[in-house]
């Protein structure tokens, strides 16, 4: 009778499709290895469900910043932020750097260049010696466990694509991107791999695909996980359309898939630092035995990622990336600054009016133009270059303005427009202007836009020199704007004659400039960037890589004006709530993209443009969204300095 009951129980378990889950639960303590990548101890290993942890760092340099650990066959691989790729045998750990010199950053200032971030890595499940790796915009392949690397041609895969995930099976390679979907490499070029991936409509003809975070492929099919609430999709290799497979489609939970694998037909994956298996209804079934170990460890260590492997090979090696919310590294000086932007003409005519707004509302900072969009300088500079290119224009009384602001406890931010500069463009016989590759003459973008070469050290030094003077005058913070390459006009004709290495990423030049600026300034530095950088890694499009910038500056200000997004963007839901939805999701997504030592202080729309629901409620929607998404401060932008409507909104608050 007892045997019969057990048989019935086994049949019931098999029918419910959970025998694999039971195996994982029962075998975990004896069969599973759990590796944690931590901030305090580097890599640590437990083979007894977290009761004890041992170091797994032999061979790693002291200052390595590890990202994620992978197991392929009998080897482990460690990706890092700036130290390249490491390999170790699992049985006898000793990490060895297997990076190609080509993985290094291109820098005009730092001879001992760091390695580029390893933005994606994977291996062939049928042949663990076959590896693929991406350094943001470049993909490499190795057939010998990383002893040698071959750069893949980028034909069909535009250089502006940021590679966020990879998979390889035999000769077939898939590359997931940050906003353009998935590409397949056929040996000579990349082509789009399929349709029906989750995304957000932007305009009548354009939809951005959600950022791909993970890929898994075998001989039959490919599976993809995504960044922000989109679940897991899959397709057979020859199919043209992806189908929803597992996970969660609930955007409210901001569901992100970090890793995927399959065992016995079951989809196993990680999300939010936890491990899951899909049940029969494609819903997530938490693997609590593993998750509890990681949760307990997180009370002792700041975990960057967690990787679980099976000694017997019965469970797939998977990695999880916990949410990181540590704000202890952020500057207290730059946090909580609620500011308004002021042009020089606005300051000249209405300074007392703006002081009144600050005294009667939560506004406690002003952003003031000191170098505008045309290169005009509005303070008494002593730089020789200012005289030579005649960029000084009717300076304001900076000493009086700053004194008045300090008396009213208002934080002062000097805005400097960097690479959009007509004065420098025209000066020195246009030596520092971007050139037209066909004519050799200064390149012209859209009307009234004049761009200088971001690769020019002279241009860098000029703007840093201005910033130093403003800091010495007493400004509390320096804010660099137009810290980018041009985006409009015939940009395919741009020739950067001051570029020293053609393989330089555009974002690397921005980081070079900002690192040099930070080294020369004794006040916090902030940067203004396109709002869309809060949604996806853009990097090599105009050079604004939010993640890379966040490792250098103190504050990033994405311009998330609802009016400046496509007409179809975030239109699901009531129209009045669109301004809230855009700023809220922009804040949530930005906080997941950045290094957490930086503040996100968004620019909010304080002007009426393409905004049918404009009014105080529109303003407060944005302010509330910024705060409720976890951001700490904001800046209201009105080019004319007309803050009557925002003042009304703020007083009502």
Residue 47 · residue 33 · CB < 8 Å: yes
Are the beta carbons of 340 and 633 closer than 8 angstroms?
no
The sign of the CA dihedral 77, 312, 245, 590 is negative
The first and second tokens of residue 450, run together, are 């004049």
Least confident of 181-190, 326-335, 431-440, 519-528: 326-335
pLDDT at 596: 79
Homologous superfamily in CATH for domain 337-652: Glycosidases (3.20.20.80)
pLDDT band per the 50, 70, 90 thresholds, residue 283: confident
Look at residue 549 in the predicted model and tell me its pLDDT. 96
Confidence at 61, pLDDT banded by 50, 70, 90: very high
Helix (H) and strand (E) counts in the chain: 13, 38
pLDDT of residue 10: 35
Q: List residues bridging with 139 in a β-sheet.
A: 134
Task: Encode pLDDT of 521-549 as tens digits.
Answer: 999 999 999 999 999 998 799 999 999 99
CA-atom Rg of the chain in angstroms: 27
Q: What is the pLDDT of residues 364-422, one digit of tens each?
A: 999 999 999 999 999 999 999 999 999 999 999 999 999 999 999 999 999 999 999 99
Average pLDDT over the chain, rounded to whole?
Answer: 92
Burial class (CB in 10 A: 0-12, 13-18, 19+), 99: buried
Burial zone of 11 (CB within 10 Å; 0-12 exposed, 13-18 middle, 19+ buried): exposed
Q: What is the pLDDT of residue 474?
A: 98
DSSP 178-216: SSS-EEEE-SS-EEE--B---EEE-SSS-EEEPPEEEEE
Q: Calculate mean pLDDT across residues 589-603.
A: 91
Contact yes or no for 490/568 (Cβ under 8 A): no
Nearest to 602 by CA among 558, 632, 569: 558
Yes or no: say if 287 and 21 are a contact pair by the CB < 8 Å rule.
Answer: yes
pLDDT confidence of residue 23: 45
Average pLDDT over residues 567-572: 94
Least reliable range by pLDDT among 57-66, 111-120, 275-284, 601-610 = 275-284
The domain locations on the chain are 337-652
pLDDT at 44: 97
Stated pTM of the model:
0.93
Q: What is the pLDDT of residue 111?
A: 78
- Nearest residue to 527 (alpha-carbon basis) of 539, 512, 540, 544: 544
């Amino acid at each position: 009778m007892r045997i019969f009951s057990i048989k019935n129980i086994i049949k019931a378990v098999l029918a419910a499709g959970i025998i694999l889950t039971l195996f994982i639960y029962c075998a975990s303590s004896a069969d599973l290895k759990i590796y944690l990548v931590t901030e305090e101890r580097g890599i640590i290993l437990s083979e007894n469900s977290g009761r004890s942890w041992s170091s797994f760092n032999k061979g790693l340099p002291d200052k390595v910043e590890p990202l994620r650990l992978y197991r392929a066959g009998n080897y482990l691989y460690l990706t890092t932020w700036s130290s390249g790729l490491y390999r170790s045998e699992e049985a006898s750990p000793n990490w060895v750097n297997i990076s190609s010199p080509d993985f290094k950053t291109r820098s005009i200032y730092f001879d001992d260049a760091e390695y580029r971030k390893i933005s994606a890595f994977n291996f062939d499940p049928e042949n663990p010696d076959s590896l693929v790796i991406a350094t943001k915009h470049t993909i490499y392949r190795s057939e010998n466990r990383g002893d040698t690397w071959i750069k893949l041609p980028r034909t069909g895969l535009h250089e502006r694509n940021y590679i966020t995930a990879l998979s390889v099976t035999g000769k077939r390679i898939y590359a997931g991107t940050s906003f353009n979907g998935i590409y397949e490499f056929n040996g000579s070029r990349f082509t789009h791999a399929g349709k029906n991936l989750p995304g957000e409509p932007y305009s009548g003809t354009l939809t951005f695909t959600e950022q791909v975070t993970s890929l898994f492929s075998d001989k039959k099919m490919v599976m993809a996980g995504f960044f922000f609430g989109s679940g897991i999709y899959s397709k057979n290799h020859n199919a043209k359309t992806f189908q929803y497979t597992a996970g969660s489609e609930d955007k409210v939970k901001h569901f992100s898939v970090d890793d995927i694998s399959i065992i016995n037909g079951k989809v196993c994956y990680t999300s939010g630092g936890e491990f899951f298996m899909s049940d029969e209804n494609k819903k997530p079934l938490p693997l609590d035995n593993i998750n509890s170990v990681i949760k307990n460890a997180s009370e002792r260590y700041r975990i960057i990622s967690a990787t679980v492997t099976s000694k017997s090979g019965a469970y797939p090696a998977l990695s999880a990336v916990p949410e990181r919310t540590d704000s202890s590294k952020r500057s207290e000086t730059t946090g909580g600054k609620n500011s308004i932007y002021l042009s020089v003409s606005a300051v000249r005519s209405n300074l007392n009016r703006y002081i009144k707004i600050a005294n009667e509302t939560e506004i406690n900072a002003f952003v003031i133009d000191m170098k505008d969009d045309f290169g005009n300088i509005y303070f008494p500079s002593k730089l020789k270059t200012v005289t030579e290119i005649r960029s000084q224009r009717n300076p304001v009384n900076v000493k009086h303005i700053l004194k008045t602001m300090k008396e009213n406890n208002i934080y002062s931010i000097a805005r400097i427009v960097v690479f959009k500069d007509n004065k420098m463009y025209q000066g020195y016989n246009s030596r520092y202007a971007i050139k037209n590759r066909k004519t050799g003459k200064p390149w012209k973008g859209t009307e009234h836009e004049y761009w200088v070469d971001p690769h020019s050290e002279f241009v860098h030094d000029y703007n840093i020199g201005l910033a130093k003077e403003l800091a010495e005058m007493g400004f509390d913070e320096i804010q660099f704007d137009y810290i980018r390459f041009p985006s409009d006009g015939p940009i395919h004709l741009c020739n950067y004659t001051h570029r020293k290495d053609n393989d330089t990423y555009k974002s690397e030049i921005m980081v070079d400039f900002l690192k040099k600026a930070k080294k020369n300034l004794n006040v916090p530095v902030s940067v203004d960037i396109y709002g869309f950088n809060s949604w996806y890694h853009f990097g090599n499009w105009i050079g604004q890589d939010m993640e890379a910038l966040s490792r250098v500056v103190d504050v990033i200000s994405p311009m998330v004006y609802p009016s400046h997004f496509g007409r179809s963007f975030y239109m699901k839901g009531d129209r009045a709530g669109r301004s809230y939805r855009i700023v809220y999701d922009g804040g949530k997504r930005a906080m997941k993209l950045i290094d957490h030592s930086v503040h996100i202080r968004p620019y909010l729309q304080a002007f009426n443009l393409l905004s049918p629901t404009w009014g105080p409620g529109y303003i407060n929607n944005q302010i509330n969204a910024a705060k409720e998404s976890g951001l700490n401060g904001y800046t209201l932008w009105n080019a004319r300095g007309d803050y009557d409507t925002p003042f009304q909104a703020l007083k009502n608050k």
